[in-house]
Amino acid sequence: MAPAMRPLYLAVACLFFASPFAFAAEPRRDGAKTFSVLSRPVKLKYGEVHNTIQDPIKLPKEIVDEFASDPIAIVNYDVDIVTMDEATGEERQVPLYAGYNHHYAMGIGPYEMMKKYYEAHKNDPYGGYELNTTSDVHSFGSAPVMKRFMSDMAGLGLPVPNRRGRRAANFGGGSGAEERGTSHLLPSPYAHVVDTPQALIPLIHLINTKGSERNQDGYSPLLECPCTPQRSFDLASGEIDGRPPVPPFSCNLKFDQEENPSCFMDIYEGGFRCCEHGVFVIDTDVYPPESLPETTFYFKFNFEYESVAPSTLEVRPPACCDVTANLTVGGNIEYDVPACTAGVAAEDCVHEMTSSQFFDLMPNYHSNETRKGDVDPETPVDLVYAVGHLHVGGLSLDLYNDETGELICHSVPKYGTGEEAGNEKGYLVGMTSCTFDPPVRMTKETVVRTVARYNNTINRHGVMALWLMEVSDPKPAAF
């Protein structure tokens, strides 16, 4: 998967505390400790979208002090959405029908690195994606744009001695509502390794759906980010609301041939490109913003960590995989699922899409950023962890070795059945993940195949079928 979704914002409090929601049903590494960070308030009116990075938040002093000289190894994380009781300060989990977590991402690293990235991208309409950078990043000198930021976090292309003091880590990237109950625990000795951990920079893509009508399946249609009459589509200039769409419309041949609405601006109906920061996914001519109720949300980030050991192996995301991509196209991130033919039995209404990609050849998807000669396609890569990212209606996401046909990971959703947070009826509330111990050894040029299945009893806009994976370059971390 091309790294296209990353950061979030936190600040009201950075505390050590035992979260009632953190790692509730997950095994823990022996001897690992935890810390938590609470976001600054995210204030949204009904139907309003928050989709941007926020100013980096300093980590708890205990963490900064403990790892001032040595790197930290983060082995697990958990993300929740809460509201605060103004009188007592008590946290309460937010149900998805009140606040829909479209996706989140975050980076942890040295404060100055996080701050430079924030300053370069703080006004971008989609939270810091490099295509819409609001500043001349070259004037920042070492200020990282997204690809540089991701490269620094992965330590790519730098000799081991030069990485010291520069490594950062990223989490999420496309994770959404479905990962509230999903384990991110890495098997030993793998970890996200950070030098001089001082600050967290987050991206929050959250929609206030509190009070929204829910459809026959139980969920709010606002989670699909419908394009409202307020969105301005200029087909001549190729701009939406006066800006180039992010990412550019770019689907593989199969989607193009089927004229999938998410792949073409002139027939686009809803999804990520109508969900930029500050817009409403309701018709504000019908619902004037000044009359709408406002809710204050917080994101809560919980981490499990230990000290880096000589045997520690660091992880990073690979370049792959998005079902709308192929061997040369990085992908469109989203697509529409057309309703099945009238008269077909509901149980037979399954929409299936397939794509094949190189596992970790970034130049094939971002050739303007990295020369192909910079990467040896036969370099070994170890797959440590994988989980599928699907939207409501998703049935499964499968990853295969395209040459051998071997099933690498089968990730399936869990749907809620009640009203309580974490079990919301009609919503996708969890995904099964795959942990590989020992890891699956591949090369960067290994071709893997993604198969995505969605229920299509109804038409669905802006769905996603992405793999969120952690890989390791097989060598010990320097410390």
pLDDT by residue (tens digit) across 62-107? 999 999 999 999 999 989 999 998 888 899 999 999 999 999 989 9
Asked if the structure places residue 106 within a domain, the reply is: yes
If we measure between CA atoms, which residue out of 469, 455, 376 comes closest to residue 415?
A: 455
Average pLDDT over residues 401-423: 96
Asked if the structure places residue 94 within a domain, the reply is: yes
pLDDT number for residue 412: 97
Beta bridge partners of 401: 448
Q: How far apart are CA 235 and CA 267, in angstroms?
A: 10
Q: How far apart are CA 321 and CA 330, in angstroms?
A: 8
Asked if the structure places residue 7 within a domain, the reply is: no
> Band of the pLDDT at 247, cuts 50, 70, 90?
confident
Asked if the structure places residue 164 within a domain, the reply is: yes
Task: Give the ranges where 98-158 is alpha helix by DSSP (H).
Answer: 111-121, 146-154
> Band of the pLDDT at 359, cuts 50, 70, 90?
very high
Most confident of 81-90, 371-380, 389-398: 389-398
Average pLDDT taken over every residue of the chain: 84
> Band of the pLDDT at 245, cuts 50, 70, 90?
confident
> Band of the pLDDT at 165, cuts 50, 70, 90?
low
Asked if the structure places residue 136 within a domain, the reply is: yes
Inter-CA distances, 314 with 2, 21, 94, 309, Å:
19, 26, 33, 11
Question: By mean pLDDT, which of 22-26, 199-203, 346-350 is the weakest?
Answer: 22-26
Question: By mean pLDDT, which of 6-15, 43-52, 59-68, 298-307 is the weakest?
Answer: 6-15
DSSP assigned state of 477: P
Q: How far apart are CA 327 and CA 365, in angstroms?
A: 8
Length of the chain: 479
pLDDT number for residue 70: 93
334 alpha carbon, distance to own chain's centre: 13
DSSP assigned state of 186: P
Asked if the structure places residue 1 within a domain, the reply is: no
| Residues with Cβ within 8 Å of residue 439, at least 6 apart in sequence | 190, 382, 383, 384, 472
| Residues with Cβ within 8 Å of residue 370, at least 6 apart in sequence | 147, 362, 363
| Residues with Cβ within 8 Å of residue 51, at least 6 apart in sequence | 102, 125, 126, 127, 203, 204, 205, 206, 275, 276, 277
Q: For the whole model, what pTM was predicted?
A: 0.87
Answer whether 153's CB lies under 8 Å from 316's CB.
yes
Model confidence pLDDT, tens digit, residues 249-285: 999 999 999 999 999 999 999 999 999 999 999 999 9
pLDDT number for residue 155: 43
Choice between 19 and 192, residue whose per-residue pLDDT is larger: 192
pLDDT number for residue 173: 78
> Band of the pLDDT at 167, cuts 50, 70, 90?
confident
Answer whether 121's CB lies under 8 Å from 134's CB.
yes
> Band of the pLDDT at 341, cuts 50, 70, 90?
very high
Choice between 285 and 141, residue whose per-residue pLDDT is larger: 285
pLDDT number for residue 362: 67
Choice between 246 and 111, residue whose per-residue pLDDT is larger: 111
Count the domains in the chain: 1
Range of the domain at 59: 13-472
In this structure, how many other beta carbons lie within 10 angstroms of the beta carbon of residue 447? 16
Asked if the structure places residue 334 within a domain, the reply is: yes
> Band of the pLDDT at 4, cuts 50, 70, 90?
very low
For the cut 90, the answer to whether the pLDDT of residue 196 exceeds it is yes
Q: How far apart are CA 204 and CA 406, in angstroms?
A: 36
Question: By mean pLDDT, which of 16-25, 304-313, 317-326, 343-352 is the weakest?
Answer: 16-25
Helix (H, G, I), strand (E, B) or coil at 118: helix
Asked if the structure places residue 5 within a domain, the reply is: no
